[in-house]
Amino acid sequence: MTETNHAEASEQRGLNFVEEIVVDDLKAGKNDGRLQTRFPPEPNGYLHIGHAKAICMDFGIAEKYGGTCNLRLDDTNPIKEDTEYVEAIKEDIQWLGFKWGNIYHASDYFQQLWDFAIRLIKEGKAYVDEQTSEQIAEQKGTPTQPGTPSPFRDRPIEENLALFEKMNSGEAEEGSMVLRAKLDMANPNMHFRDPIIYRIINKEHHRTGSKWKAYPMYDFAHGQSDYFEGVTHSICTLEFVPHRPLYDHFIDELKEGKDLEDHRPRQIEFNRLNLTYTVMSKRKLLALVKEGLVNGWDDPRMPTLCGFRRRGYSPEAIRKFIDMIGYTKFDALNDFAMLEAAVREDLNARAIRVSAVLNPVKLVITNYPEGQTEELETVNNPENAEDGTHTITFSRELWIEREDFMEVAPKKYFRLTPGNEVRLKSAYIVKCTGCKKDGQGNVTEVYCEYDPESKSGMPGSDRKVKGTLHWVSCGHCLPAEVRLYDRLFSVENPGADERDFRELLNPDSLKVLKDCYVEEFAATKKPLDYLQFQRIGYFTMDKDSTDGHLVFNRTASLKDTWSKKNK
């Protein structure tokens, strides 16, 4: 079956094409019926939502079919790696709800890989090249033109062994020489044109210290690590398709040509996750952090898992989204709005409803006795009765949204305007009687009268009025800072744009509102509790929040106002 047919057939069975392969292999009794996968991040940055797609596949498929998924830290380049990232990676995987079998490190195989390289040199299958990287690149040829052999290609084995030792001892300078596999300078697959398999890096490794100076390249480490661990299905992204023959080649060498179909990891590739209005490259994300263009890896505008977590996304919503987009063999750009839709759907079911006023103006209920207060009961979550209720205090002076009053209103304005009636959520129906303005004509207070017979829940109180407004009591609320987040980039596909990605940042991606009020109950919540500010959107308390200075992040607006705004 061709791959496309295969993908179509699996869809009919409700399985994605990777599952289909795994199921077939298990049925055929391959690998003694074992299923072992790995998630192999390089600890050179924080995990982003693209990694979540790989995590859901690697861990998810093992979980579903009774296998194991290990966490392998692909730490073969000490220049960019750090233990800070290792810890963050573990936290994020657990947050998504997955458990690894073992934790492995590619650096644990440095000795085995070194020994393997020595063997290849001794068998005349690898050589030390002392040309510059530019010279080596020039000799690679093109897909239609064969490459030119290096003048060092046929140097004596003893010389290669001695130089390879020097690469690792510190005697040879960084960049002065590399070890290359002697394969085929005319192979149509460019990866076979004597790939570099070791280079010198003079930097302490976060796990092996200064023991090694010669470090294996990805292509010489990844497949072998899979093989050493007993991985059965090595699932990765499409850019590794052209590497697959090399992956197989080194494993065949390692097995010395024996039992080639036996216990051999199989590489399977799926499409990367790309999201509109953001970037997924760790290099670019690191630059945003280092250059202070965002406030750290967990800035709620970042596509990192810690950023989404801080913003108030739930792990379930992210997994739901990954499920929705699925796994295919074709690269695509996924719509950020689809992720937000998954987040809204999830939060609608779980968020606790509270009242907050972001742009306050005072509402005075002139016929409500001064000094009187009432405790009103309000539902925590209409989607889930088990979430219960809490009380909110009502009084003569309330904060309402400035947008909820207009002195002269258009016809279909169902909020406060003189003569009009609205319900105050969980409280009374009030009728607007007017307002007070300052010298510049700005409204400073809105006036109304309440109907004592209209208290929510009272018999006969359900007289129809068109609008319901949220409010907080001036004497029973807390000041808060509210951070509104929008798309990080102002173009749909910043990765494909010719301009520098820094020029494409959305200047309005963060708006800070300093003079907001939240009901007291909201302050009893913790960072990561899921909240809905009624009529406004989904919010969560930020980690910067203190008792004296509450800070909330907007997770998502209630509706997708964004796609309309931009079309």
191 binds, among Mg ion, ligand ATP, none (CB under 5 to 8 A by kind): none
Residue 339 makes contact with ligand ATP by CB under 6 A: no
User: Does the annotation mark 193 as catalytic?
Assistant: no
Which listed residue (90, 119, 272, 329) is catalytic? 272
User: Does the annotation mark 282 as catalytic?
Assistant: yes
Residue 80 makes contact with ligand ATP by CB under 6 A: no
CA-to-CA dists, residue 42 to 96, 131, 275, 374, angstroms: 18, 28, 21, 58
- Name residue, tokens 């179509």: 8
Query: Binding to ligand ATP (CB under 6 A): which residues in 204-263?
Result: 236-237
Output the smallest distance, CB 38 to ligand ATP, in A: 9
Q: What is the largest CA-CA distance in the chain?
A: 101
Sheet of strand 356-357: strand arrangement: 352-354, 531-533, 537-541, 550-557, 477-485, 510-519, 356-357
Cβ neighbours for 125, distance < 8 A, ≥ 6 positions apart: 181, 182, 253
Residue 40 makes contact with ligand ATP by CB under 6 A: yes
Token pair for residue 43?
Answer: 């600890």
Distance CA 425, CA 404 (A): 13
Token pair for residue 97?
Answer: 């709800």
Output the smallest distance, CB 188 to ligand ATP, in A: 24
Phi, psi for residue 26 in degrees, rounded to 5: -65, -40
54 binds, among ligand ATP, Mg ion, none (CB under 5 to 8 A by kind): ligand ATP
319 binds, among ligand ATP, Mg ion, none (CB under 5 to 8 A by kind): none
Token pair for residue 218?
Answer: 């990805």
546 exposure class (CB count in 10 Å sphere: 0-12, 13-18, 19+): exposed
Residue with Cβ nearer ligand ATP (275 or 400):
275
Which residue spans within 2-123 are E strands per DSSP?
36-39, 68-73, 103-105
User: Does the annotation mark 272 as catalytic?
Assistant: yes
Backbone dihedral region for residue 498 (phi beyond 0: left; psi -120 to 50: alpha; all else: beta):
alpha
| H/E element, 379 | strand 374-379
Output the smallest distance, CB 486 to ligand ATP, in A: 22
Taking CB atoms, the residue at the shortest distance from Mg ion is 42
Query: Binding to Mg ion (CB under 5 A): which residues in 21-60?
Result: 42
376 exposure class (CB count in 10 Å sphere: 0-12, 13-18, 19+): buried
Residue with Cβ nearer ligand ATP (72 or 344):
72
246 binds, among Mg ion, ligand ATP, none (CB under 5 to 8 A by kind): none
Interacting span for ligand ATP (CB under 6 A) from 10-18, 46-54, 200-208, 373-381 = 46-54
554 binds, among Mg ion, ligand ATP, none (CB under 5 to 8 A by kind): none
| Of positions 51, 199, 243, 266, contacts ligand ATP by CB under 6 A | 51
In 260-334, alpha helices (H): 282-290, 305-311, 315-325
Residue with Cβ nearer Mg ion (42 or 445):
42
Distance CA 473, CA 371 (A): 12
Residue with Cβ nearer Mg ion (74 or 129):
74
Phi, psi for residue 142 in degrees, rounded to 5: -130, 170
Taking CB atoms, the residue at the shortest distance from ligand ATP is 50
Residue 71 makes contact with ligand ATP by CB under 6 A: no
Residue with Cβ nearer ligand ATP (119 or 284):
284
Distance CA 108, CA 101 (A): 17
Question: Hey, is 110 helix, strand or coil?
Answer: helix
Output the smallest distance, CB 42 to ligand ATP, in A: 4
Interacting span for ligand ATP (CB under 6 A) from 276-284, 286-294, 397-405, 500-508 = 276-284
Which listed residue (42, 63, 316, 407) is catalytic? 42
Residue with Cβ nearer ligand ATP (237 or 461):
237
Output the smallest distance, CB 271 to ligand ATP, in A: 8
Angle between helices 17-27 and 49-64 (to 10 degrees): 30
Distance CA 305, CA 121 (A): 43
25 binds, among ligand ATP, Mg ion, none (CB under 5 to 8 A by kind): none
Residue with Cβ nearer ligand ATP (105 or 282):
282
Residue with Cβ nearer ligand ATP (54 or 488):
54
Distance CA 143, CA 156 (A): 30
Which listed residue (264, 282, 353, 487) is catalytic? 282
Residue 273 makes contact with ligand ATP by CB under 6 A: yes
| Of positions 206, 222, 233, 282, contacts ligand ATP by CB under 6 A | 282
Residue 50 makes contact with ligand ATP by CB under 6 A: yes
Residue 281 makes contact with ligand ATP by CB under 6 A: yes
N-to-C CA span, the chain: 43
Residue 41 makes contact with ligand ATP by CB under 6 A: yes
| Of positions 7, 18, 22, 54, contacts ligand ATP by CB under 6 A | 54
Residue with Cβ nearer ligand ATP (51 or 319):
51
Output the smallest distance, CB 83 to ligand ATP, in A: 15
Tell me the CB-side half-sphere exposure of residue 375, using CA atoms within 13 A: 5
Phi, psi for residue 356 in degrees, rounded to 5: -145, 150
Contacting residues toward Mg ion, per CB under 5 A = 42
Binding site for ligand ATP (CB under 6 A): 40-42, 50-51, 53-54, 74, 236-237, 272-273, 280-282
The residues annotated as belonging to the active site are 42, 272, 282
